[in-house]
Amino acid sequence: MSDRHAPKVLWRHETAVWCQEMSEQDGEHRLTREYRQQPSSWSSWSSGPSGHRAESGGAGDLGRLVLVPVETGYPRTLAFVDTGPQTLIQLIQALPRTRETQRDPLRWFLGQVMTELGQTVAELHDSPVSTASELPDEPTMGMARLRGYLFDETTDVVRRLFTALGSARMDVARSCYSDATWDTDPRPIHGGLALGSVVPLAPSGKTLLAGPEVGRGIPELDLGWLAGELTELEIEFQGTGQNAEVVGSLWPSFYAAYTDAFSGTTDARRVTAARLLRVLLHYCDFVSTYPNLPIGEAQVGVLLWLIDDYVST
């Protein structure tokens, strides 16, 4: 008879894209992601039945930088073990809902996490060309999904997007997609850099989760992806009367550390394009997940503002 206790589910979240669940068993935390559609790059991560343990995570030597799935459930489930109890987005949402946070130790800790994240992402982007050649030579999962939303005019999501944005701004959004696709010198990128994939309290010391979203592309795609989420979060904090300047301070901490550590240069226009695409994808995923809910004016307003900001850069 085993002395181990049954796993306890701490939280579970479902969308049209995936289902995520955090569980705890005997002090070990496990984050499980079940994809609604099988990732096209799945062969890079798993080739065995449920319970197969990958030796390298299938991502070349990127495992030295990020926490890769050590257990996979064939064909659509990834599990990250010993992650710690909370993701970065949950820690941010736990900030006090007042403006008396200048001396809050959580605020200081978040700044340290963003600095470390910037250094990690820079090292990821500077990974050897041999590593990049092992990664999928195709759009990342998020970009592939967004391409369908933007260019497949038969879907309800696209029709609603046209109604919300108008044809001129829809054309701008489509040009953004081209602006953020790869060039002649693609680098390894995370492909889905988000606060929900950062686990600051992981016992392993690796704070960034990486799965089949990893691919080759322009570094600005990762930067804009994170900037887009932080933009949405800052607007959310402003709308609820929370301390939005705390969230506003996270991007400068990340970007300063990234630029200090990264060997190359980045294009501000492409970062702005990728920021728009990240928010646009979130909008489309929301419409896909909740097709019967009305589209909020605030959501559309943010998209219009980001499109106009991209045009002006």
Tell me, yes or no, whether 58 lies in a domain. Answer: no
Tell me, yes or no, whether 234 lies in a domain. Answer: yes
Tell me, yes or no, whether 33 lies in a domain. Answer: no
What is the span of the domain harbouring residue 170? 85-312
E strands, the chain, in order: 8-14, 18-25, 28-35, 71-73, 77-81, 187-189, 215-217
pLDDT of residue 48: 32
pLDDT of residue 27: 85
Tell me, yes or no, whether 259 lies in a domain. Answer: yes
Tell me, yes or no, whether 5 lies in a domain. Answer: no
Tell me, yes or no, whether 36 lies in a domain. Answer: no
Tell me, yes or no, whether 34 lies in a domain. Answer: no
Tell me, yes or no, whether 2 lies in a domain. Answer: no
pLDDT of residue 230: 95
Mind listing the pLDDT tens digit for each residue in 223-273? 999 999 999 998 888 877 677 888 889 999 999 999 999 999 999 999 999
Alpha helix (H) residue ranges in 166-296: 167-179, 219-239, 244-248, 250-261, 268-289
pLDDT of residue 2: 55
Q: List, run by run, the mean pLDDT of 10-residue segments along the chain (313 residues).
A: 75 86 89 76 40 42 74 68 87 70 73 94 85 67 87 81 87 86 77 92 85 85 96 86 82 96 93 94 87 80 92 89
Q: How many domains does the chain have?
A: 1
Domain harbouring 164, CATH code? 3.90.1200.10
pLDDT of residue 205: 82
